[in-house]
Amino acid sequence: MTREASATGSEPPATRRGPIGDLVLLLAAGIAQMLVVVDYTATAITLPSMARDFKVSADSLQWVITGYVLTFSIVLAIAGPLGDRYGRRRLLLLGIILFGAASLWVGFAGSVTMLIVSRLALGVGAGLLFPLSTAVVGASSDRSELPRMMSILTGIATIGMAVGPVIGGVFTELIDWRWVFLINLPLSAVAFILVLIFARESRNPDAARGRIDYAGIALLTLGIGGLSIGIAWIPDRPAMTWIPILTGGLVALILFIPCELRRPSPLIDLRLLGNRDFAGYLLGGSLSNTCWCVLIFATTLYLQEVRGDDAMTTGFQFLYLSGPVAIAGFIGPAIQRRMGTRRMLLFATAIQSVACVVFWMSDVSPWLAIGLLVVGFGCSWGWSMSQAGGIATVPEGNVGLASGSMLTVLIMSGNVGVVVSAALIKARGGPDMSDYAPGIAASYLLALGLAAAAFLLTWIVVPTGRPARPA
């Protein structure tokens, strides 16, 4: 059951599991992915309670989210190649251990610094969990069963998107925000045991001949990190403090371009941007996802800091968003077959734009709920259709690299959007951060601009009237 397999994932008949074994492995991988999704969606709800505990403003804890996403996206980009080289099951087990240990660290954090550093560590574990749980199921499944297994796995992760805000609100309000993270320990233990017993090792024998793009990792980390810190410091730091950091981040990102163009196996394959279809879907999807991230961050602060809702009420309010996100994930493929991927992405970003107008113009409860309901479908389809459209335009041999590149860009762009939103809120909140409303309104306007730009760029860049051609 733990014998190694080749990159194809085909398993010798003697080691085949029965249907029960397949379902148990699927459950283990689903728990692993759900942990990551629940953690992200639940953490946003806990920010105001964390801020009160540490006696800081809620916007100052943006790095609890952005730091996590930064390490998550970097590790996400290299987890696949590392799993191919050193063993997918082995790296998944390591990711589960890291995620559980870092969750314990977050739960017992005694200062803002420790909280942020522990969240950085948690992002490393999450970056291993998310792609390698999919890879382990793929390598352990019969080829004929793979589409069904992947659909079920996606459905389990989507449930996490729906219940995450509720879990964050209920635990924060009835017990303590720290339990949002401590509950990860027993779930991680269950996932670890099931993967250990039911998953088998697999790797790609050809992967050892490639080289990990360490220079790309360093430049991208310095670039996004410097850009994020520089933007975050603009509202309340002297210009001579944030300008060098912001400039350093931009320089690192500029150096990242020639570095990646020279690599045979880059962290992000910039050569794919020569494919107009892929570039259009990447631009549209990145802006759409950034809009989604800004809306989650701004709406969480609006509900708790402006409206005065408690964490549990806020969590249940987010069901208006997460419910449609989950539903859209299941009905999206059927609609896409009728409309086409390009039209579906245009429809998604148009929905986001309309919903953002509702958020910006009215804070009355019924309209807020309507906005969340509408935007959930747009956010879900903007995320999935951009990836489906982009990946469909590249040759089959480049699908893995294209998928990883697109996912990294989508996640990192959303991270930068949250940093900009936090800077707007801080800049307009007054010297003692006594008024969150002006900055949140500005964040909704930012989200509207992002959604509208996603629509326009998809309309202009992605060709119409002809099938997509692989690069």
The verdict on residue 469 lying in a domain is no
Same domain? For 199 and 224 the reply is: no
Is residue 471 domain-resident?
Answer: no
End-of-domain residue from the set 241, 262, 283: 262
Report CA-CA distances (Å) from 94 to 88, 101, 123. Answer: 10, 11, 13
Does a structural domain hold residue 7?
no
Residue 425 belongs to domain with CATH number = 1.20.1250.20
Question: Do 345 and 201 fall within a single domain?
Answer: no
384/365 same-domain check: yes
Decide if 10 is inside a domain.
no
Whether 308 and 439 map to the same domain: the answer is: yes
Among residues 262, 289, 322, which one ends one of the domains? 262
Contacts of residue 217, Cβ cutoff 8 Å, sequence gap at least 6: 74, 77, 78, 267
Each residue's pLDDT tens digit in the chain (471 positions)? Answer: 344 444 444 444 334 556 677 778 888 888 888 888 888 878 888 888 888 898 887 767 778 888 888 888 888 877 877 887 788 888 999 999 999 999 999 999 999 999 999 999 999 999 898 888 877 876 666 655 655 666 566 667 767 777 888 888 889 888 899 999 999 999 999 989 988 888 878 776 665 566 777 888 889 888 888 888 888 788 778 888 889 999 999 999 999 999 988 887 787 888 888 889 999 999 999 999 999 989 988 888 888 888 888 888 888 888 888 888 878 877 887 888 888 889 999 999 999 999 999 888 766 667 888 888 899 899 889 988 888 888 888 776 666 667 777 878 888 888 888 888 888 888 887 766 678 888 999 999 999 999 999 999 999 999 875 544 444
* Residue 147: predicted pLDDT: 54
Q: Which of 198, 230, 262 is the last residue of a domain?
A: 262
* Shared-domain flag, residues 207 and 219: no
What's the whole-model pTM score? 0.80
In a domain, 305, yes or no: yes
- Do residues 391 and 340 both lie within one domain? yes
Does 42 share its domain with 165? yes
Q: What is the pLDDT of residue 467?
A: 47
What pLDDT does residue 469 have?
Answer: 46
Integer Cα distance of 293 and 298 in angstroms? 9
Query: What does the pLDDT read at residue 458?
Result: 94
- pLDDT score recorded for residue 363: 64
CB atoms within 10 A of CB 329: 21
User: Among 94, 100, 106, which residue's Cα sits nearest to residue 68?
Assistant: 106
Q: Please check whether residue 37 lies inside any domain of the structure.
A: yes
Same domain, 78 and 178: yes
Upper half-sphere CA count for residue 43 (Cβ side, 13 Å): 27
Q: Report the number of distinct structural domains present in the chain.
A: 3
250/378 same-domain check: no
* Range of the structural domain that residue 346 is part of: 271-464
DSSP per-residue codes, 95-162: HHHHHHHHHHHHHT--SHHHHHHHHHHHHHHHHHHHHHHHHHHHHHS-GGGHHHHHHHHHHHHHHHHH
Question: Does one domain contain both 287 and 423?
Answer: yes
Whether residue 115 sits in one domain with residue 104: yes
* Residue partners of 298: CB distance under 8 A and separation at least 6: 421, 425, 440, 443, 444, 447
- Say how many Å lie between the first and final Cα of the chain, rounded: 39
- 98 and 236 share one domain: no
pLDDT of residue 155: 66
C-alpha–C-alpha distance, residues 468 and 471, integer Å: 9
What span, in angstroms and rounded, lies between the C-alpha atoms of 294 and 292? 6
- How far is 347 from 334, CA to CA, in rounded Å? 15
Short-list 297, 301, 300, CA closest to 433: 301
